[in-house]
Structure 1
Amino acid sequence: MSLTAPSAAPAPRITYRAVLGSPYVARLLGGTLTGRLPNGMAPIAILLWITANGSSLAFGGLLSALYGLASALAQPVKGRLMDRYGQTAVHVPTALLNSSLLLALPLAGPHGERALSTVIVVAAGLSTPPLEAGMRALWPSVLPDQRLRHAALALDTGTQGLLYIVGPLLAAALAAAHSPSLALVATAVLGLAGTTVVATAPPSRRWAPAAGNPGGTPAQRLHSPGLVLLFVSLAGIGFAIGALNVWAVAMAEAHGQDMLSGLLPAAFSTGSFLGGLLYGRRTWPGSATHQLLAGTAAFLAGWLPLLALPGPYGATVAVVAPGAFLTVVVACAYITTDTLTPAGRTSEAYAWLILSIGAGQAAGTALAGHLADHPLASAALPAAGAAFAVTVLLLARPRLSPSGHGTHRRRLRPTRCART
């Protein structure tokens, strides 16, 4: 008699209050965001400390870039270690090492001895705790209900942009009010505190990857053609974000308004946050692949108004639109990754996803820097990155289906991005 009742009654509306009221969700999400706040603080704090101690802005920018690059490159290794030894065994030592190195940086010398400073910064980047991949791996066990998990993933993804608004502002404020060394100390403390909150939570301490299928080679199963093409497409998404940051600086210089360099990325991140809130509150039609393609196409369309070279106010409004679809793209990319990843390798797969976006962002930043003096080319780069992502996804579409991957975790595979 219980078989017909669920089909007759409409599914209850998902609210963020229900998501955050679920056991451990608020703690894990809050701890992860706090522990990842240094991702936005550290590059600015390092740059300010280096320049305050007599080194050039170019060297400070190099160290900031090395920190971010080292952090991204080390993600897959740490993801694989989590899949093998659990989250606590990776989170705790990496957080302790990362914080210790950031605290040690001011001791590198009153003028920031270059060789030692470089070694410390690179080592600190390599040892950043893999909180983002770890959090994504926890959602299925913390929220077995697919609809709640969808909302939590959207909320998690949508709030990421805020890290890169609050983090740099906090680091700059502490450096201005006291000293760049205090900004480094605060970065170290926040990273360690947030990671501790996550690592001591029962879901993280108890988490273990699903047992893999004994047949086949793990490396071959993880790096399937579908996953590789998905990660390549996401590099285009990162490329667009990296190009945006440089274009914002070019806009600020062209219009003589320094605030634009921070206002445009902030508007983009605000769009991402608001888009995530809207996306996670309801069920959307279509499969995960369909939503990924539609979201990426909308992300591309959102960049096209920049080709008209709008003024400061028009540009600020325009970048909200692609930001609003970024959360859809990233959330569905994580779900697609989950459907194509073999049991026991989810953390590593998520880490490769993070690395793909980060590598694309670095490439977009580098190329945009060379084209910053050409307004139309600079404004077109974000759309070019998004167009690349759409093209690769269209080519990869037949391979993004979980059919034929018998070793995958069928019990966690959603058939739709937003519903069971």
Structure 2
Amino acid sequence: MSLTAPTPPAPRITYGAVLCSSYVARLLGGTLIGRLPNSMAPVAILLWATANDGSIAFGGLLGALYGLASALAQPVKGRLMDRHGQSSVHLPTALLNSTLLVALPLAGPYGGPGLAMALVCCGGLATPPLEAGLRALWPSVLPDLRLRHAALALDTGTQGLLYIVGPLLVAALASAYNPAVALSVTAALGLVGTAAVALSPPSRRWRPERSKDRGAAPMPRLATPAVTLLLVSLTGIGFAIGAMNVWSVSMAERHHQDMLAGIIPAAFSAGSLAGGLIYGRRTWSGTATRRLIVATAAFLGGWLPPLALPAPYSATAAVTVPGAFLTIVVACAYVTTDALAPSGRTTEAYAWLILSIGAGHAVGTALAGRLAELPLASAALPAAGAAFALAVLLAARRRLIPTGHPQRGRHRRLRWGGYKTP
């Protein structure tokens, strides 16, 4: 008979415990506020253009240019953070981005379309890389793996709120005042949120891990087959989201219910938030790669009911299912990226992940727009994107498990505030 006392179960993780950890609430809140311009600026730019005798097509072009420029610049800013730290990148980009957004309504009418396009492109390029930066901070702020798991799920799940709150806030400001005020508020929120993150001790002191045996050797190669295949698979996830947004607009037109264009994406985002909250409250067995594949399969399964061309309310309820699994897919993708990326280039790898999803989103939006008049094809595109993602992950599953070490958070060993995390 063993006299060894049974090991007590680990205390249950709560989001209250996560948010009460040092700097977590400030970092998460600042990042959400600082990233609101990602959802506000394209809408505010569109409204400003149409209010100044521009066409909807031109306003849409300006909004698309802002989003595309923001996505394309992410890897460059990620590499700069890996080399020079976070605050030296966050603060200048936020200041430049806010200045250009405020300058657009002041200079746009005098320089014509060319100047407006230049200001919008430069503003997008200067978008602060807050999302990648926050993911790189979690290991140093939360050494406890379970708390970090919950924080990552909470961080990923709340992103959907940006695309609900942001456009609504712009619409309210433009209606009560004018689009120029909406652009000014957008600029102010971006600057305030970014400053809250960049001036915090974790962000100011953060430095990436450097391999001790690398010395003065050049930076290790990031574009390994494993990382490349992972990023390719995530373009399918972005494709599904972009196609879903257009599908919701076509549903609204087909059923003569304009609100569906906003309600369906909002239901998808609500499902994402709920899925993230549930996922982050418990510890899951198996590797992050295995969870990524299972969650992607469930994400694909969630897009099958729309193929039956359901009624509006049924379609709205149906999209909450793939939304719930989206957070798990993205959270596991970040953990897998962290394990696969070489030391000293993790933030840049995160930025490429964001770019991959954004590029897929743009392609899905464009193709869905061409097929919007075909109900079945429009409804099938999100499933097609998810199927592509799953196929690539299944083909690459052996490569996605790092050899020679278990999956882990590579930044666990970086120094922060004089304390070396385990």
Distance, in Å, in 1 between the alignment partners of 2:225 and 2:132 is 21
Partner of 1:274: 274
**Pair 411,173 (structure 1): closer, same or farther in 2 beyond 3 Å:** closer
CA distance in 1 between counterparts of 2:139 and 2:5 reads: 22
Structure 1 Cα separation of the partners of residues 194 and 4 of structure 2: 43
Could you say if the C-alpha distance between residues 226 and 6 of structure 1 is closer, same or farther in structure 2, counting changes exceeding 3 Å? farther
**Structure 1 residues 17-57: Cα deviation after superposition (integer angstroms, max 9, x where no partner):** 00000000000000000000110100000000000000100
Partner of 2:226: 226
Q: Contact (CA 8 Å) 2:132, 2:351: kept in 1 or not?
A: yes
The more displaced of 217-226 and 158-167 is: 217-226
CA distance in 2, matches of 1:12, 1:208: 31
Change in CA separation of 1:12 and 1:247 when aligned onto 2, cut-off 3 Å: same
- What does residue range 34-45 of structure 1 map to in structure 2 within 5 Å? 34-45=33-44
User: Does the 8 Å CA contact 2:153/2:277 hold for their aligned counterparts?
Assistant: yes
Which residue in 2 is equivalent to 1:20? 19
Q: Secondary structure at the match of 1:209?
A: coil
Q: Which residue of 2 aligns with 1:49?
A: 48
Structure 2 partner of 1:417: none
In the alignment, which residue of structure 2 is the partner of 1:242? 242
Please, what is the CA RMSD of the aligned residues? 2.0
Partner amino acid, structure 1, of 2:301: A
Does structure 2 conserve the Cα–Cα contact (< 8 Å) formed by 1:55 and 1:112?
no
Q: 1:117 to 1:7 in 2, by over 3 A?
A: farther
Distance, in Å, in 2 between the alignment partners of 1:79 and 1:179 is 35
Q: Which residue does 1:179 correspond to in 2?
A: 178
State the match for 1:161 in structure 2: 160
Shift of 1:411: 7.2
Which deviates more from structure 2 when the two are superposed, residues 175-184 or residues 5-14? 5-14
Compute the displacement of 1:99 (Å).
0.1
- 5 Å matches for 1:114-133? 114-133=113-132
How many angstroms apart in 2 are the aligned matches of 1:164 and 1:5? 53
Paired residue type of 1:314: S
Report what 1:143 is aligned to.
Answer: 142
The one-letter amino acid paired with 1:88 is: S
What is the CA-CA distance between 1:108 and the residue it aligns to?
2.1
> 1:370 is aligned with what amino acid?
R
* CA contact 1:106–1:112 (8 Å) conserved in 2: no
Q: Which runs of 5+ in 1 are unaligned?
A: 414-419
Matches of 2:335 and 2:375 in 1, distance apart?
37
Structure 1 contact 53–111 (Cα < 8 Å) conserved: no
Q: Please give the alpha-carbon distance, in whole angstroms, between the structure 2 residues aligned to 1:337 and 1:265.
A: 27
* 1:265 aligned residue: 265
Q: Which residue of 1 aligns with 2:310?
A: 310
Q: Does 1:253 align with 2:287?
A: no
Sequence identity percentage: 71
Q: Are the aligned partners of 1:53 and 1:112 in contact in 2 as well (CA < 8 Å)?
A: no
Report deviation, 1:284.
1.6
Work out the CA distance in 2 between the residues paired with 1:317 and 1:110. Answer: 44
| Cα pair distance change 1:252/1:135, threshold 3 Å | same
The corresponding residue for 1:387 is 387
Match of 1:93 in 2: 92
Q: Distance in 1 between matches of 2:232 and 2:270?
A: 26
In structure 2, the gaps of 5 or more residues are 414-421
Aligned to 2:76: 77
Query: TM-score, structure 1 length as denominator?
Result: 0.94
Give the whole-Å Cα distance in 2 for the aligned partners of 1:410 and 1:105. Answer: 41
- The residue correspondences of 1:244-393 to structure 2 (distance < 5 A) are 244-393=244-393
Cα deviation 1:332-352 (Å, max 9, x = unaligned): 000000000111111100000
1:214 aligns with 2:214: yes
Moved more, 297-306 or 205-214: 205-214
Q: Which amino acid aligns with 1:399?
A: R
